[in-house]
Amino acid sequence: DIQVTQSPASLSASVGDRVTITCRASQSISRYLSWYQHKPGRAPKVLIYATSTLQDGVPSRFGGSRSGTEYNFTITNLQPEDFATYYCQQSYSSPLTFGGGTKVEIK
């Protein structure tokens, strides 16, 4: 089964900052990596799919990229509503797997 390792587990940042989260897959998963935002008590929300494609309605300050089996998720100009936990997920093959999550907190 494919494992996905996400880092860091948490980070503190200020409004206006740029933050980057990384996921590394245990084998090639091509473009099949998605990023989700999750706030307490709410349904998770997909932000990016297929490595770098923004879901409809997602602001352009969110972005994704890939280098080999390493995938990066970036938020530029961090906004107050962006403080949440973010997860990556590989969907190359089931069983699907999530990264462990990154909690983005206010500095």
Partner 1 sequence: QVLLVESGGGVVQPGRSLRLSCAASGFVFSSYAMHWVRQAPGKGLEWLAVISPDGNNKDYADSVKGRFTISRDNSKSTLDLQMDSLRADDTAVYFCARGDIGGYCTNGRCYGVWVDNWGQGTLVTVSS
Contacting residues toward partner 1, per CB under 8 A: 1, 32, 34, 36, 38, 42-46, 49-50, 55, 85, 87, 89, 91-101
Report the DSSP beta bridge partners of residue 24: 5, 70
DSSP state of 3: -
**Closer of 80 and 95 to partner 1 (Cβ):** 95
Q: How far is the CB of 16 from partner 1 (least distance, A)?
A: 27
**Closer of 76 and 98 to partner 1 (Cβ):** 98
**Closer of 15 and 50 to partner 1 (Cβ):** 50
Contacts 24+ apart (CB under 8 A), 55-64: 62/35, 64/33, 64/35
Q: How far is the CB of 85 from partner 1 (least distance, A)?
A: 8
Please check whether residue 37 is in contact with residue 45, taking contact to mean a CB–CB distance below 8 angstroms: yes
DSSP state of 31: T
